[in-house]
Amino acid sequence: MSHLPQIDYDTASQEVRAAYDEEIRLRGRMTNMKRTLLHSPVAHRIYAEWFALRAELDPVISDREIWIFSHAISKAANSKIAITFFRRALIHKGFDPDALELSEAEALLDALGRAIVTDSNAVPAELWVKLKERYDTKALVDLVAFAGIMLATAVFNNVVEVDFDAELEAFAEGAGPA
């Protein structure tokens, strides 16, 4: 059970309701994490910058690549909600997250995601060499910043013990075919 409650829309302030309504308008749904974050519209807005960085990366990193990167970060952080969120994204596009054959770019992003969480002070130099060969400096800045927000998301879910979204249950590890 979550250490912090989700907002109650009916009793929430106008500011919280406006942020909630905007989230629904932009993304069409509201997760339990977002309902919890909305106790602070500023915190919610900061975490939602994940989407802005994703848009910046879109021209150079595909959806599948970003899902694999995010999944690697989530796995390394042991965040059940985040892991399952990206499993669902992969499954919805016809991929089996338990049997992915990674391209060179995907393997690179998977390794970076795991390295960032494992020890952000020791991302291997050879990994940086490969990253710099593939991506320009702006993309690398956006990618590392994106990883920071992704890790922050995993940490928030873990520390608060945000209630698992029912819509994710079918996609959890070990849940069987979705």
- Lowest mean pLDDT segment, chosen from 5-14, 106-115, 166-175: 166-175
Contacts 24+ apart (CB under 8 A), 167-174: 168/81, 168/84, 168/85, 168/88, 171/84, 171/87, 171/88, 171/91, 172/80, 172/83, 172/84, 172/87, 173/83, 173/84, 173/87, 173/98
62 pLDDT exceeds 80?
yes
CB count in 10 Å sphere of residue 41: 20
Please state the domain extents for the chain: 9-171
Closest CA to 83 of 7, 8, 158: 158
CATH number of 9-171: 1.20.1290.10
The rounded mean pLDDT for the chain is 96
Mean pLDDT of the region 21-26 = 97
DSSP 1: -
Dig out the tokens for 92 from the structure: 């919805």
Dig out the tokens for 116 from the structure: 């960032």
pLDDT tens per residue across span 135-173: 999 999 999 999 999 999 999 999 999 999 999 999 999
Angle between helix axes 63-76 and 137-160 (nearest 10 degrees) is 40
For residue 163, give Cα distances in angstroms to 33, 141, 153, 166, 167. 8, 32, 14, 9, 12
88 pLDDT exceeds 90?
yes
